[in-house]
Amino acid sequence: MSAAEPRRVIVATGNRGKLAEIRSALDFEGWEFVTAADLGADALDIEETGDTFLANARLKAHAYRAAFGLPALADDSGLEVDALAGEPGVYSSRYAGPGATDADNNVKLLSALADVAGGARTARFHSVIVLVDEDGAETVAEGTCEGAIGYGPRGEGGFGYDPLFLPAVTPGRTMAELAMAEKNAISHRGAALRALRDKLAG
């Protein structure tokens, strides 16, 4: 995209950490990524009724485009734990119930894996991103990050399950112990954002 065509894109999130990742990865000149709060509005309360990450990302992106009249970007991401048959999956943000905090979800996950040995604690983060443009056309990208679940939270960075997730490519360190640039380089959302960047730049 050229600098002569500045675009404001609304991101379907109230999570400032996620917004920071998106702004860092999609640093096109002339693009501005904003949230509803940046526009003086409340975030939309969208029920994620899809049974896949793609369905939920699509649902959110189209809802934000319709509500704000801007191109909209949404992602749906989650943790898939092999020993739990892929749970929490699309329910990652509400694994411990409606209104659950990150800490609540982490406690439930550790409890569910209490009897699972280290070699069987494999998991991956999975992210699907949908960008809906002014005309309603979709650009879809996805990414994954393989790893395992630790035995307790470590690190002050990131959000969600980051303090428990040990990426395979950073042995001994959780996602929450990585600097933003390190996380973006290996994370599921980082991979999805790079794939989206390539599609948009192409």
| Residues with catalytic roles | 76
Nearest to 89 by CA among 122, 60, 51, 116: 51
**How many degrees, rounded to 5, is the angle at CA 151 between CA 105 and CA 188?**
60
Structure token digits, residue 184: 């973006």
Distance between CA atoms of residues 167 and 142, nearest Å? 17
Three-state secondary-structure class, residue 73: strand
Nearest to 91 by CA among 112, 71, 72: 112
